[in-house]
Structures are given as structure tokens and as C-alpha cells.
Amino acid sequence: MNKAGKVWGETQLICQTPNFELHRIEIVPGGKCSKHRHLHKVNGFYVESGELIIRVWKNDYDLVDETLLFQGDFMRVDPGEYHQFEVSTGAVGVIAYEVYWVEFDPKDIDRETVGSSTQDNLKQLLTEATDNVVRVLPAGPIEDMHRSVAGSPAGEFGGPTAVNDDESLEGSPHDADGNPIRAIPRRCPKTGAQT
């Protein structure tokens, strides 16, 4: 345990981690620490013996809060608040424990996007793919069209759907053999709407 002398008495480090510290402090009669603050740490005081005054300059008003702690009392000072401790007049000295810790703000999050699951991502990718791609196949029996899309079942993930053989193909593009080419109607997997 590390001890260090102070103008107001003595402090002894008991435990220290990256987000927690515990010190045993002995304050001489009339001892008083500087007015100070911690930007990120909460500062707690627990009195083992004696009487300790804690002064806190609150951030939200111009008054100074003064609290008298007796044996077994605890007080917390929030980060950013100036504070000071002093042995109460007439007391023979104080033994106390000073605790420091960091608190995480549960609302400390700034979202730029909305989360999703892998299934949602897959649906979105398939929807975008079917919205942006139109498969063009040679005219012919529906079975030939199924083979042209590697056996994809009709309608699955925007695969081919029934083709109306009676529809007019005048003005349609033709392949190298002169056969008319027609677009296969597509269905959106998310909404089922024909695209």
C-alpha cells in the first residue's frame, strides 16, 4: 500500500484499477484539502471516525452545499463539481475512505443507421437484385426458360413466372437466329408485386 503525505494529513492507496480507486485518508485536526474537481471521476467519501465537512459548488446554481458527515456516513460528488473536505471544528481528526469511480452513461450512443439481422440483409439484397435486373430469355416453352435460369423454380427469388404465349411479340428484339426475345415477368420476393 502506497502512503503519501499531504498538507492536510496522509493518504494511502488501497486499490487501483483503470476505472476504480480506493484510498484511506487520515486528516489532521483543522485539515482542509484544496477546492478541486474531477472531470470524469465520481468522488465518494465514507467516514470511519471523526466528523468531516464536504463542500460542493454545484454546477446548476451559485450556492455551496455543505454536508457534515459522521461515523458511518457516505457522500458522493459528481464529476465536474468543485468540492473540498475539511475536518469539523473541534474534531480530533478524521479517518475516512475516499473512493473514485467512472460511470458509463447508458444513453451514450449516437446511431447513424438502424441495425438488422442477416435475414433482413439477405431479403434487402434479393429485393435490390430483382428490382435492378431483368432477365431476357429467348421465346419458347416454359420448360426451356426454366433451364435457362439454372433450374430456378418459377417465382422463387424473382425467378421466371408464367409467360403468356398469346402476347404479341411485334417490335420485340430478336436473337442471332431471328427468334423473338421476351422479358420474363419478375416478382419481388418481399412484396410479391410483379416488376
Q: Measuring CA to CA, which residue among 81, 49, 83, 87 is closest to residue 68? A: 87
Residue 73 has pLDDT above 90, yes or no: yes
Q: Can you name the residues that pair with 84 across neighbouring β-strands?
A: 55
Q: Contact, 10 vs 34, CB < 8 A?
A: no
Residue 108 has pLDDT above 90, yes or no: no
Q: Contact, 146 vs 160, CB < 8 A?
A: yes
Q: What is the pLDDT of residue 111?
A: 81
- Measured distance CA(108)–CA(111) in Å, rounded: 10
User: What is the dihedral angle through the alpha carbons of 71, 74, 77, 78, rounded to the nearest 10 degrees?
Assistant: 170
pLDDT tens digits, 125-176: 777 777 665 554 455 555 444 444 444 444 444 444 444 444 445 555 666 6
| Residues written for the chain | 195
Residue 34 has pLDDT above 90, yes or no: yes
Q: What is the pLDDT of residue 194?
A: 66
Share of the chain above pLDDT 70, in %: 68
Q: Measuring CA to CA, which residue among 21, 7, 14, 12 is closest to residue 87? A: 7
| CATH code 2.60.120.10 region(s) in the chain | 2-101
Fold of 2-101: Jelly Rolls (2.60.120)
Q: What is the pLDDT of residue 117?
A: 77
φ/ψ of 146, rounded to 5, equals -65, -45
Q: Contact, 105 vs 78, CB < 8 A?
A: no
Calculate the average pLDDT of the chain. 79
Residues 6+ apart with CB under 8 A from 49: 71, 94, 95
Of 13-27, 104-118, 145-159, 161-175, the poorest mean pLDDT is in 145-159
Q: Is the dihedral of CA 149, 153, 159, 162 positive or negative?
A: positive
Residue 83 has pLDDT above 80, yes or no: yes
Q: What is the pLDDT of residue 31?
A: 95
Residues 6+ apart with CB under 8 A from 1: 12, 13, 14
